[in-house]
Amino acid sequence: MDRPVDAPSLLIVLEAGLASTFRRRIRDRLESLGTQVSVLDGQGRNYLQVEGDIEPLRTLALDSWKGVEKSVFIGEAHRHGSRVDSGTHSRVSVGDVTLGAGEFVIIAGPCAVEEEERTLRLAASVASSGAHLFRGGAFKPRTSPYAFQGLGDKALQILSRAREETGLGIVTEIMDPRDVEKMSETADLLQVGSRNMHNYSLLKELGMTRLPVLLKRGFSSTAEEFLLAAEYILSGGNPNVILCERGIRCAAASRQVVLDLGIIPELKKKTHLPVIVDPSHGSAESYRVPALAKAAVAVGADGLLVEVHDQPEEALSDGRQALSPEEFKNLVPELKSIHQIVSGGQHVKQEGLISAPGGEDI
């Protein structure tokens, strides 16, 4: 065999005592689909080992075939995002900032861009507190069509001003495949929100660019589905994907949303892509944000996406979960200290290098 020893294969457990004519029929059908099949003789029953291009077989209902007791896929489907060996992590550059390189990267700003002056003040504030990138929504996906939908093009202009004034790269959300070109003029990192994790037209469009993409996990998406959504971008040729856990739906959790921090070590094991955490949407209420932000660092995330607003209670979107600029400023040093511990102190130097002007190094 010259194929990789860990190539996925398929084992079919035949029913006990299955007649050989049935076994023959199953074997023929599998081979007609382009695979190589060998028969294994067991006690009381036989098995078929299937090799070759087995990917198309994943969508067939093999377990419903007459004579099949069970089908067992061994090894995962090939993915661009898979970790090929244990030492590899990819890095995604957003302007001067690199995610996945050991540094802990903080993206902060309001949920939605509102007035220009307020936005610029917030950008300056989070920059001086240690944020590495500035976030702000121009086009907002809102559950209700009657809710504030974002300032749109005007917000993009404001965000450009914020970049000029602070030097921070801009993170903003894209919702429509027809907007890629326009948005890319302003955004350094394009966010795909939870509602669009399954919007394959949008993902494919982004896959045809080389723009850095921040992909948020869907409201009730599994790790596997999340990785396969990333695959829509990666398989198009764009390697610049950052994953973001933001809380999933759960009946027992407060406000029915739970931040699934356990997915961070899982994603770190399964993919080489950088993984960050949004503790704001995952908190639903701002008093929980600092604790969950610290937990996100401790669990091994590569960065944070956090909402900051100077009058959270009056924010036009998701104010309930935003930190005040002062709360954010107090939080950053603690995050850095924890990151130093969990990264074994080896990233101290980079920490110093990437700290924003005025940030408090430790």
Judged by CB under 8 A, does residue 327 bind its own copies?
no
The nearer residue to its own copies, 24 or 178, going by C-beta atoms, is 178
Between CA 145 and CA 123 the distance in angstroms is: 28
The nearer residue to its own copies, 181 or 357, going by C-beta atoms, is 181
Q: How far is the CB of 244 from its own copies (least distance, A)?
A: 15
Binder among 89, 195, 209, 350 for its own copies (CB under 8 A): 195
Binding mask 340-359 for its own copies (x = CB under 8 A): -xx-----------------
Residues 53-72 close enough to bind its own copies by CB under 8 A: 55-56, 58-65, 69-70, 72
Judged by CB under 8 A, does residue 269 bind its own copies?
yes
Query: Residue 191 pairs with which residues in a beta bridge?
Result: 173, 214
Judged by CB under 8 A, does residue 259 bind its own copies?
yes
Q: How many residues does the chain have?
A: 362
| Amino acid at the residue 103 | E
Judged by CB under 8 A, does residue 256 bind its own copies?
yes
Judged by CB under 8 A, does residue 292 bind its own copies?
yes
Residues 215-244 close enough to bind its own copies by CB under 8 A: 218-225, 228-229, 231-232, 235
Judged by CB under 8 A, does residue 360 bind its own copies?
no
Between CA 198 and CA 262 the distance in angstroms is: 22
**Cα Rg of the chain (Å, integer):** 24
Beta carbons within 10 angstroms of residue 337's beta carbon: 12
- Span of 96-104, 114-122, 142-150, 183-191 interacting with its own copies by CB under 8 A: 142-150
Between CA 142 and CA 344 the distance in angstroms is: 41
- Span of 97-105, 158-166, 255-263, 347-355 interacting with its own copies by CB under 8 A: 255-263
Judged by CB under 8 A, does residue 176 bind its own copies?
yes
> CA-CA-CA-CA torsion for 317, 319, 321, 325, nearest 10 degrees?
120
Nearest to 177 by CA among 224, 144, 211: 211
H helices of the chain, in order, are 20-32, 116-129, 153-166, 180-186, 200-207, 223-234, 263-270, 289-298, 325-342, 348-354
Residues 5-44 close enough to bind its own copies by CB under 8 A: 5-6, 9, 11, 13, 16-17, 29, 36, 38, 40-44
The nearer residue to its own copies, 138 or 315, going by C-beta atoms, is 315
Judged by CB under 8 A, does residue 208 bind its own copies?
no
Q: How far is the CB of 261 from its own copies (least distance, A)?
A: 5
The nearer residue to its own copies, 20 or 256, going by C-beta atoms, is 256
- List CB contacts of 276: < 8 A, sequence separation 6 or more: 99, 105, 107, 214, 242, 243, 244, 245, 301, 302, 303, 304, 305
Binder among 150, 312, 325, 359 for its own copies (CB under 8 A): 312
